[in-house]
Amino acid sequence: MPRLGPAIRARLRRGPACTAVAALALVCGTTAAAEATHELHTDRDAFTPATTTIEAGQRVLEASYAWIDNRGTPATNSFPELLVRLGMTERVELRLGVNYEQGSGGSVVSAVEVGEGLIGEELESESNVLYGLKVFVTEQVDWVPRSSVIVEAFTPTSGDVLGTEPTVTYVCGWQLPREWRFDAALRYVYADSTGGRFDKWVPSAVLRMPVTHRWEVHAEWFGAWSDGLPDDTVRPFVGPGTHYMITPNFEVGCRMGWGLTRDAAGYFVDSGIGWRF
């Protein structure tokens, strides 16, 4: 434990208020002196995935629960939004996941959404498995961004829509002054629905801002545009998020947002964890 200097000992003798201030200064000093906690760079931290892959031989487990307040229809519950990432080489990771959704609008706010099978006024449910690869493409050099490509598929195991959906995501980002980061992604889904196949375009952008070595906040915009449905939808969202590193290998986080059109859900909240093991 750090030694208390004469100034802090003097403040401790001045009363409870000074004691609280001194304790805060001691905690802050201890945190500043501690070694910086490394980021996990989880993909669930925001809707926009991380621009990096995990290191060879490492494993990262991500899970979360999302509650989505749909407009005029039953709310959606999405869990466990489980994603296991396995580092195969320095540039390639294997991705496996599962999810279950119950509600009326799909889990468009998470990276494990499948199809448009839940759209409607009735309470329905579906589950799916996820499998694929993430490949690191470029490191940041001047204006060239750090970037990765995710190629994966979602196969429903229950529900009204049982067609496998291939998905490709390109994500890139730049390290900014003060350790801020700006990342953007574009996801394409060859989606399935009760009315047949259609195209879905899902852009997103996030500004990540560290507060301390362990605590980060972000502001994000993302949305989903369908093309090929009898009634195409436009569902953009905006909102904040945060995560906190409890240990160098375990984080907790929460994000929320609001829909910007009538097609989009009115509000959502998503809380989860990341664990490197």
Report the SS3 class of residue 108.
Answer: coil
Annotated domain spans of the chain: 1-34, 38-276
Tens place of pLDDT per residue across the chain (277 aa): 444 444 444 443 444 443 333 333 333 333 433 345 468 999 999 999 999 999 999 999 999 999 999 988 889 999 999 999 999 999 999 999 999 998 876 667 887 665 454 455 555 788 899 999 999 999 999 999 999 999 999 998 987 777 899 999 999 999 999 999 999 999 999 988 777 899 999 999 999 999 999 999 999 999 999 999 888 989 999 999 999 999 999 999 999 999 999 999 999 999 999 999 9
pTM above 0.95, yes or no: no
Contact 99, 80 (CB under 8 A): yes
Planar angle of CA 116, 149, 205, nearest 5 degrees: 65
| CATH of the domain spanning 38-276, picked from 3.40.50.2300, 3.40.250.10, 2.30.30.100, 2.40.160.40 | 2.40.160.40
Q: What is the DSSP string of 155-178?
A: EEEESS----EEEEEEEEEEE-GG
